[in-house]
Amino acid sequence: MTQDLTGYPLALTGPDRPMVRFAGVSKSYGDLQVLDRLDLEVAEGEMVTIIGPSGSGKTTVLRMLMTLETIDEGVIYVDGNPLTHMPRGDVLVRADRHHLRRERANIGMCFQHFNLFPHMTALENCTEGPIHVLGLTKAEARDRAEELLEMVGMIDKRDEFPARLSGGQKQRVAIARALAMRPKVMLFDEVTSALDPEVTGEVTEVIRKLVAQHNLTMLMVTHQMGFARDISDRICFFHNGRIEEQGPPQDLFGNPQSERTQQFLSAVNEAI
């Protein structure tokens, strides 16, 4: 399937260009349309949380940005450059392997089920990428990993294999692993959904710390409305593959405009 890409710029320039931009992005699985001409911009250093009913395309947004899913239409830009496409002459064409590898380096991701490498210790999980992808020496990679494991409170467990860690501990190692690659954009895909309720706090604490101390651009999908409200700069409510409503947390949670948003939020509140 070829699409007309003539309307899309080869790069985004200017001092106030967004860190992430979805420009008219659509995606279908067979007959099911997961994203419908999505336009979304995330500024540098902004924390955006995506909420919405399941099947509304929330996770797909993150997975596309991590290049785990292809897109059918539109272009995704990261840090000014097209991610899903690359310039050839004065038009955009679909990105090849090399382009994806170069641009993907800007992005880090944490998964619902952690996806730690089970045959590597916490420390080795955090040094694998820096050594083999970024070309750091073993000592440099270890220093960097230890600093991050310290930050997420897992330095004592650096030599443990994932099988010996609790869910909350695994997720904290996974956050350190992603940060060790020094991404500009961090993606959190339901990182507390697989955790026991009493340990979600140790993971959300780490994310709070990141928001407070680093100028990372972050996109998060979560079902924890209270947490989202506390730390997000902006909330996007997704419905049927589109942004139904978005705004600062106090507006979206306090005074939702759309009827669907109101329905969703009251359903969530009742569940609590």
In whole angstroms, the minimum distance from the beta carbon of 182 to another protein comes to 11
In whole angstroms, the minimum distance from the beta carbon of 79 to another protein comes to 15
Short-list 87, 74, 92, CA closest to 35: 74
Strand partners, 50: 221, 236
Which range binds another protein by CB under 8 A, 25-33, 80-88, 156-164, 235-243? 156-164
Q: Which is nearer to another protein, 129 or 256 (CB)?
A: 129
Q: Which amino acid is at 152?
A: V
DSSP assignment letter at 218: E
Residue/partner pairs of 265-272 with CB below 8 Å, 24 or more apart:
265/225, 268/223, 268/225, 269/225
Asked if residue 38 lies in contact with residue 25, where contact means CB atoms within 8 angstroms, the answer is: yes
Q: Is 61 a residue that touches another protein (CB under 8 A)?
A: no
Q: Is 194 a residue that touches another protein (CB under 8 A)?
A: no
Q: Is 121 a residue that touches another protein (CB under 8 A)?
A: yes
Strands 107-110 and 185-189: parallel
User: Interface residues for another protein in 161-180 (CB under 8 A)?
Assistant: 161-163, 177-178
Q: Interface mask (CB under 8 A) for another protein, residues 68-107, using x and -?
A: x--------------------------------x--xx-x
How far is residue 166's CA from residue 196's CA, in Å, rounded to a whole number?
Answer: 10
Q: Is 29 a residue that touches another protein (CB under 8 A)?
A: no
In whole angstroms, the minimum distance from the beta carbon of 97 to another protein comes to 9
Q: Which residue in the set 96, 133, 230, 259 belongs to the binding site for another protein (CB under 8 A)?
A: 133
Q: CB burial class (10 A; 0-12, 13-18, 19+) of residue 98?
A: exposed
Binding site for another protein (CB under 8 A): 66-68, 101, 104-105, 107-109, 111, 113-121, 128-129, 132-133, 161-163, 177-178, 181
